[in-house]
Structure 1
Amino acid sequence: MPPPQPPRTPLRRVSQGSLRAISRSGTFPDAPHGLGFLEPAMAELADEAEGLQTSVAGLHSLSESLETFNESFASYLHVMEMNSLTTDWPQAPTDSSFLLASKREEDDARAAQAALRAAAEAALAAEKSAAEEAAAEGNTTTFGDTSAATVLQPTGIKQPTGILKKKKPKPKLTVKEKKERNMAIDKTVSALPLEFRGQDPTLRRNVESVIETLMDNSNGLEILAFVKPEINQARVNKCLIALVNRKIVSKDSSSGRILYSWNGVPS
């Protein structure tokens, strides 16, 4: 007597069967023979793979386009920057502008010198007139008398007494002293704003002249002591303001006159 067969479930039947048996089963009579059912799935997979390849090719083309655009745009920005650095702007100052400005400064300096000369001549004429009036009134004091005490004179005009003393020339500096003086001037100029450190060569020469004048005079000086033919009062005032702001020069007005004294570069 054969042993009884164990019960079979649909899953067990599928697991024990084969694709060929399933294709010939009565459940799917129209199923393809063998592995024929894989053909539609493979065709669909091939279509999807082709679509994926097309998308990847599109992404690669987009990446190349972006790279080309980045290079072109970077080149454009570089050219624009170089163009801005090399283009001559029509409204920028030219050599003739600097020559005209220098000529105006010279004219202003000559006008200032002429005004100072006229003021000095007027003061001398007033002093001479006062001396003549004093002599006519019987005053024994004369203009050239070294023992004179006072001379009647208008208010605000100083009467010279005695023989005018000649101004002593400045002692000549040695090579070492000149080198130290130039180093001190360069150190002082380096502490000033950029416009005094070479951006305007004329302004740098002016501030060096003011610094040298202050170094040569330990006592306080008025602003007119710095005025020269090559530097007018406006430039002198600008240089002194910069030096006072850096506390290199001190400004004193306690005596009723504005005096500038040299302090040196603060450490």
Structure 2
Amino acid sequence: MQTPHRTPLRRISQGSLLRLSRSGAYPDAPHGLGFLEPTMSEFVDETETLQTNVEGLKHLSDTLATFNESFASWLYVMNMNALTVDWPQAPHDDSFILAKRRAEQNAIAAMQALQTQAKTIQPSSSEGSLNDQTTVISDPEATFSTNSSGPAKTKKVVKGKRPKLTAKEKKERALELERIIAFLPLEFRGSDPNLRRNMEATIEGIWDAPNQTVKLPDLIKPPDLNQARANKCLIALVNRKIVRKESSTGTVLYHWQGVA
């Protein structure tokens, strides 16, 4: 009769540890269960190594989680910084230096022009005031007036018509316009050419008005200078205290103050 094949497991299960230790396969095996001691010691060492490696993996996982959270926070902060701080078209320090230098040059040029004009004008009568003088002529619709707050010393004001200026007065008016616009926000100083033209038309409209006092409808010249643009220009002038707004009489009036 053929003996059935037996696996080691079946051999162990059918025999005993004592019989296995005394078998011919392990002639030098210790007595009883003593042969398990070196095996269990090695097993314990390998278990401790496994535990150390698992703890290392856990520490690595915690470190990666901390890094991911910190890195994500840094990316978020950089994104918010780009959205709120990074403005390529914003003026830098050189822009303010150039604007200040340009304003000083314009002021010097305007002062020189006024000094040259003062030398050419003959002294008026001692009874009249140089700051505010009005002479009425035969034409009831026209007066000659001088006012120090305007760009020109002498101008002719005609109702419904823009005063005619000489070439010299036009040049002085342009210099004064440039000096005043230098005090206004950036959008009026050239970033929007249409808005700059609207501001110049608004300022000239106030200069040409009697007593340099106007109402908002007096400045509207459609289609270029509509009510919204004229109102925006007046708000900018009032904020810079170049124009004074008055509503005590029930009607909103704008009085020219000039640049101090």
Fold shared, TM-score > 0.5 on shorter chain: no
- The TM-score with structure 1 as length reference comes to 0.37
Q: Which structure is richer in relative contact order (CA contacts within 8 A, separation 6 or more)?
A: 1
- The structure in which a higher percent of residues are strand is 2
Rg larger for: 1
